Amino acid sequence: MKNKKRILILPGDGIGPEVSSIAKELLILLDQKYSLDLDISEGLIGGKAYDETGDPLPKETLNMARDSHAILLGAVGGPKWDDLPSQKRPEKGLLGIRSEFDFFANLRPAILSKELVSASSLKNEKVSDLDLLIVRELTGGIYFGEPRGEVEGSDEVLNTMIYSRKEIIRIGRVAFEAAKGRKGELCSVDKANVLEVSSFWREVMTELSSDYPEVNLSHMLVDNAAMQLVREPKQFDVMVTGNLFGDILSDVAAMLTGSIGMLPSASLNKTKKGLYEPVHGSAPDIAGENKANPLASILSVAMMMRYTFEKDEIALSIEKAVELVLAEGERTQDIAKENETTLGTREMGRKVLLTMESI
C-alpha cells in the first residue's frame, strides 16, 4: 500500500462522469500494461456532492485528496445549482481543492493536432503543429491580493495586484524546468511599462535565468503577447505569466486549437501533487447523451503521468494513441466537419484504449 501511486477521481457533474469513466479505464489499462501499482479511488465533488451531502466539497473528499498523489477531475457545475448561495455552489468545491493543496502552477498546453488544423480560427500554416505551453501562476496576484472590495466612505472599489519574490521564483522554476525539457525557449509575459509589480516580476525572472543557462529567456508585454498569439503563435514554446494575464492568454491559446474538448490542464504544488482536469466545463447541453469528447480527459491522464509520476514515455504513448486515432479520421461531434460520421464518448474512448493496447 505504501508505494502505491494513489489517484483520486472526482467525476463531478454534467459530462464529468462520462469523460472520467473513460479516463478511469485508461488508468486501469496503464496499470496493467506498465505495472504502475496504482490505487484508484473515486469521490464526490460539486453539485453531485451537494445533492448527496449538502456540501460541494465534503470532508471525506478532502481526506481522500490529502491521501492521494494525483487527482483527476471531470467538471463541476450546471444550471441545477446556479441559484445556490455562493458557499454551496459546485465551483466552491473546485476552488476549495485548489487552495487546500496550494496548486500554484497551472500548466495549459495548446497543441493542435495536424489532423485538426481546419478546426482552428487561424489559417492552416499559422497553426499546424502548434505546440505551446502556458504556465500561469494560480494562487496569487490580483485575484487574491488584499485589500480588496469597497473603500469605506467613498464611491470606489479596489483590488490589489501583489507578488512576492518567493511566489515569482516558485512559478518561474516550474516554467524554466518545463522549457528545459522542451525547446529551451521561455517567454515571460508582464506589463512592466506600467505596473511596478510587473517590473519586479521581470527583474526576478531575469535573476532566476542565471540558474538555467540552457534556457533562452525573453520578455514580452501582455498586450503584445495577446497580439502575437493570434498573429504568429508558433513563435512561442513556453510562456510564463501571472494569474490575471494567464487567465486571458490561456483562453486565447485554447481557441487557437479549435476545440475545447481536446484540451487538458494540470495544476501542481511544490510536492508535484497535481490536480488534472480538462479545460472544458460540465457542458450541460450535451450531458448524458454520450456526445462529449473524452480526449481532454485522456490527455489529462497523460499530463498526470508526465508531471506527478514522471513517466514521460507513458505520457508520450497516450498522446501518440490520440494522434493515431485522429489520423484514422475518427471524430466526436465537436471536432467533426459537417456531414462527417461521428463517434460517441464511449466509442472514441474505446478506440484510444484499443490503440494504446497495440502500441
Contact footprint for ligand NAD (CB under 6 A): 15, 75-78, 91, 94, 260-261, 277, 280-286, 292-293, 296, 334
67 is catalytic: no
Place of cell 490520440: 322
Q: What DSSP assignment string belongs to 17-79?
A: HHHHHHHHHHHHHHHHHHT--EEEEE---HHHHHHHHS-SS-HHHHHHHHT-SEEEEEE---G
247 is catalytic: yes
- From the candidates 251, 270, 285, 312, give the one annotated as an active-site residue: 251
Please give the C-alpha separations between residue 308 and each of 15, 178, 271, 279, 304, in angstroms, as whole numbers.
25, 13, 9, 18, 5
CB of 188 to ligand NAD, least distance (A): 26
191 is catalytic: yes
143 is catalytic: yes
CB of 34 to ligand NAD, least distance (A): 26
- From the candidates 37, 129, 211, 223, give the one annotated as an active-site residue: 223
Distance CA 82, CA 282 (A): 13
- From the candidates 5, 24, 92, 191, give the one annotated as an active-site residue: 191
DSSP 155: S
CB of 259 to ligand NAD, least distance (A): 7
- From the candidates 131, 143, 234, 272, give the one annotated as an active-site residue: 143
Residue nearest to ligand NAD (CB): 281
223 is catalytic: yes
Which C-beta is closer to ligand NAD: that of 120 or that of 188? 120
In this structure, the chain runs to a length of: 359
Determine which helix (DSSP H) or strand (DSSP E) holds 260, and give its type and residue range: none
Which C-beta is closer to ligand NAD: that of 39 or that of 42? 42
CB of 209 to ligand NAD, least distance (A): 33
Which set of grid coordinates corresponds to residue 314?
507513458
**Residues tagged active-site:** 143, 191, 223, 247, 251
